[in-house]
Amino acid sequence: MAAAATEATILELDPSHERAGRVIDDIVRLEKRIFPKHESLARSFHDELKRRNTGLIYSTSGVGDDEEVAGYAMYTCTTFLCASITKLAVKESCRRQGLGEALLQAAVDRCRRRRVQRVSLHVDPARTAAVALYRKAGLQVDATIEGYYSAQRNAYRMYMDL
């Protein structure tokens, strides 16, 4: 694993912080580039952040005015027992450096602090790099959900007991 994995600075979004708007704008741009339109939260990102028990963590790259979001993870603690990783994305130029792993671990750690007992997520089986990352982190496939993303695109439901 690259040194970046252990050195990644993971930040929690504070909506009241003066830079929050810029961070959210960066994330929305990433959403539009990475995810198909029907999977993107770009249009509803602000509403998602207002949901109770939803957290957003991110990491940046660059310095000063060139600083931008390199990756992010959104999670929701749906009950006291269960949480869901609803988004995990890393900018293409920042992939394969351990950032996705660091973001996933940070999201799981935040759920663990809330005493959640199970973390789950959905992933397209065709996204082999993402599936490999989740398996490496200890998640396992619970089921295949037919037509989850669209009529021809299924999803693995994966989980990890904490």
pLDDT at residue number 147: 95
Give pLDDT tens digits for 79-94: 889 999 999 999 999 9
The CATH code of domain 4-119 reads: 3.40.630.30
What share of the chain has pLDDT > 70, as a percent?
Answer: 94
Q: What's the gap between Cα 74 and its chain centre?
A: 5
Comparing 138 with 48, the larger pLDDT belongs to 138
Nearest to 11 by CA among 73, 49, 67, 58: 58
> Is 0.85 surpassed by the pTM of this model?
yes
Domain boundaries, the chain: 4-119
User: What is 65-108 written as a DSSP string?
Assistant: GG-EEEEEEEEE--SSSEEEEEEEEE-GGGTTSSHHHHHHHHHH
**At 7, is the pLDDT very low, low, confident or very high (cuts 50, 70, 90)?**
low
Comparing 41 with 104, the larger pLDDT belongs to 104
